[in-house]
């Protein structure tokens, strides 16, 4: 029994020794990592256990103006011992530049421990050497907004992502923020990816440990080649920075500093798709796709209906190209297709399927082939064009008239017509005698009509008074009159665009011209030389609400983008309604 107890004691002793060894800390700390060439730097080498044979690094790029100074702190709190030993040096930089202070070493209980190297940035001389940094300076050095772009040289219509991250150093904090300026993705198709909650994560920023949150994720598809600029995201932030003072409990006292940070603009170099090998029927599809043609049935009777579906599935710019058209024999009656999209967008881009479903009704009996349909796209993996073709589909109409029989029946019907010869009794059903009777004429005086005409002026007077009051009330309704006037203006300027619904290019040209003509008439300006920024500033100066201005600018941008992308009838109708509503709101708010 004693032998077992002795073994357990040795085991606990070894375990306690290993835990104590694992808790040894030896690290280097500097007063600042950025200083002027005329300032002084303090570096402390701290350890939580006493050690021997301390070897400082070689300060080749600095002159040692003080130290080493040694300090020891040994305290007991609630029965727990806290020990700290520090070697301190005061250094003066010899020149400007970035310098690395290498590792220091010390021996603790027979083990050699080393500090991590530190990088020091020495700048030009400062006005107040070794003055304590202000809260704004601390905030600038510890808060960073970064836009991470997944690809800076994509192909035309190739998707990539922009992720905005806010990095915060462990010594500081952020209490709240708001977006001061949102990026505008001109010449890009864009969609934000939903972020569910702001999760705090740990990461490295320029080699140093930081905390960060992902604020925004956006998927972009360039619609134009060349160098395109992504405008920056700008935030107003309340930053919590340490004051260097502690409260009665020893906790650091923090102060709040307002700070504006920006991710900076980014330039994307968009490559054009190669001309070599480009198919003649290429519609702009870029990605990795599958293509098929399916029919709900291949055998039916005349006047019955079937559905033919053209479908593209896979990953790529699914919302930004048109599907091939269905070619059918003239004997088949084909209706306008129903377009469906089942597309989800995440950081990897668009993925899903789009389809056009045609309803077909055969008129005559027979076999009708639907020719093969081909779909071509640019494959990003191989950087080549690929083509997918469907098989020919034969529609077998089992019962119904044939085209030739129908013509014969028409001829037979015409030949069997007979001449009609009228008889004497043909019109006997028409009566030639009347049974009219004399009506006694009533005098107008004191008749019902007489009394009605007599009382009519007395009835009209209160009615006229009521109508006059209603008109006065309506004229006094300034807000209502503005709304009605705005609706009339919207109908006036958008009339041409409404006539061209269904014709994409003409519709959006008319819509854009209507928006400019409205501004020209309403604000008494020439909009020919105005860009979107000037229009936005002018509307804001006229006290138009920012959200209404944003809607107006987004419609103008959509008019430009729609000329390069496929648009459905439903989308055009939605854009028309949105433009009419926005014009009404501007006319309501403008001053």
Among 267, 264, 355, which Cα is nearest to 311's? 355
Residues 6+ apart with CB under 8 A from 10: none
Residue 528: what pLDDT?
Answer: 54
Cβ atoms of 550 and 558 within 8 Å: the answer is no
Domain 287-397 fold is: Immunoglobulin-like (2.60.40)
Residue 83 is encoded by which pair of tokens?
A: 């020990």
Class of domain 478-589: mainly alpha
CATH architecture of 21-131: Sandwich (2.60)
Mapping DSSP to helix (H, G, I), strand (E, B) and coil, where does residue 38 land? Answer: coil
Average pLDDT of the chain, as a whole number: 81
32 has pLDDT over 80? yes
409 has pLDDT over 60? no
Alpha carbon distance 49, 71 (integer Å): 13
pLDDT digits (tens, 9 = 90+) for 449-470: 777 777 788 788 888 888 888 7
Residue 83: what pLDDT?
Answer: 82
Name residue 362's beta-bridge partners.
332
pLDDT digits (tens, 9 = 90+) for 273-312: 999 999 999 999 999 999 999 999 999 998 899 999 999 9
500 has pLDDT over 80? no
Rounded to an integer, the average pLDDT of 368-395 is 94
Question: Strand runs (DSSP E) across 323-380, as ranges?
Answer: 332-334, 338-346, 349-362, 366-370, 374-379
Q: What is the pTM (predicted TM-score) of this model? A: 0.50
Q: Are strands 26-30 and 226-230 parallel, antiparallel or unpaired?
A: unpaired
Cβ atoms of 565 and 480 within 8 Å: the answer is no
The more confidently predicted of residues 214 and 509 is: 214
Q: What percent of the chain has pLDDT over 90?
A: 33
């Amino acid at each position: 029994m004693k032998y077992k107890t002795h073994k357990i004691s040795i085991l606990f002793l070894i375990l306690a020794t290993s835990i104590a060894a694992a808790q040894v800390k030896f690290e280097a700390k500097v007063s600042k990592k950025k200083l002027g060439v005329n300032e002084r730097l303090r570096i402390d080498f701290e350890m939580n256990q006493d050690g021997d044979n301390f070897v400082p690094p070689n300060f080749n790029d600095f002159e040692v103006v003080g130290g080493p100074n040694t300090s020891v702190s040994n305290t007991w709190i609630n029965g727990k011992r806290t020990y700290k030993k520090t070697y301190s040096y005061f250094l003066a930089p010899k020149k400007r530049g970035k310098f690395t202070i290498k590792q220091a070493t010390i021996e603790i209980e027979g083990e050699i421990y080393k500090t991590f190297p530190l990088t020091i940035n020495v700048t030009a001389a400062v006005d107040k050497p070794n003055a304590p940094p202000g809260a704004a300076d601390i905030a600038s050095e510890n808060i960073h907004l970064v836009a991470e772009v997944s690809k800076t040289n994509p192909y035309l219509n190739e998707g990539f992502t922009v992720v905005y991250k806010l990095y915060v150093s462990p010594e500081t904090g952020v209490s709240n923020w708001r977006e001061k300026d949102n990026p505008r993705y001109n010449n890009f198709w864009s969609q934000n990816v939903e972020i569910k909650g702001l999760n705090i994560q740990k990461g490295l920023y320029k080699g140093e440990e930081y905390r960060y949150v992902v604020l925004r994720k956006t998927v972009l598809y360039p619609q134009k080649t060349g160098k395109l600029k992504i405008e920056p995201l700008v935030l107003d932030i309340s930053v919590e920075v340490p004051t260097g003072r502690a409260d009665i409990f020893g906790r650091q006292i923090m102060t709040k500093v307002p700070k504006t940070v920006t991710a900076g603009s980014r330039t994307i170099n968009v490559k054009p798709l190669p001309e070599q090998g480009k198919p003649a029927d290429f519609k702009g599809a870029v990605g990795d796709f599958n293509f098929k043609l399916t029919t709900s049935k291949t055998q039916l009777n005349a006047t019955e209906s079937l559905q033919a579906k053209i479908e593209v599935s896979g990953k790529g710019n699914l919302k930004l190209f048109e599907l091939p058209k269905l070619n059918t024999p003239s004997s088949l009656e084909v209706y306008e297709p129903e377009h469906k999209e089942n597309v989800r967008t995440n950081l990897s881009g668009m993925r899903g399927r789009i389809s056009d479903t045609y309803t077909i009704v055969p008129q005559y009996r027979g076999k009708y082939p639907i020719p093969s349909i081909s779909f071509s796209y640019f494959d990003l993996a191989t950087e080549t064009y690929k083509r997918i073709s469907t098989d020919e589909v034969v529609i077998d109409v089992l019962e119904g008239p044939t085209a030739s029989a129908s013509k014969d029946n028409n001829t037979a019907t015409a030949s069997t017509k007979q001449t009609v010869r009228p008889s004497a009794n043909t019109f006997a059903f028409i009566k030639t005698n009347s049974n009219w009777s004399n009506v006694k004429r009533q005098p107008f005086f004191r008749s019902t009509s007489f009394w009605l005409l007599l009382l009519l002026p007395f009835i009209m007077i209160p009615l006229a008074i009521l109508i006059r009051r209603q008109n006065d009330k309506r004229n006094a309704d300034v807000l209502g009159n503005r709304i009605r006037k705005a609706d009339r203006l919207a109908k006036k300027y958008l009339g041409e665009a409404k006539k061209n619904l269904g014709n994409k290019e003409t519709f959006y040209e008319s819509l854009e011209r209507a928006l400019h003509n409205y501004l020209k008439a309403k604000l008494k300006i020439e909009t020919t030389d105005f860009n979107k920024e000037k229009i936005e500033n002018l509307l804001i100066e006229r006290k138009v609400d920012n959200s209404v201005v944003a809607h107006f600018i987004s419609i103008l941008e959509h008019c430009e983008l729609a000329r390069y992308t496929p648009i459905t009838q439903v989308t055009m109708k939605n854009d028309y309604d949105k433009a009419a509503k926005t014009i009404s709101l501007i006319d309501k708010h403008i001053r």
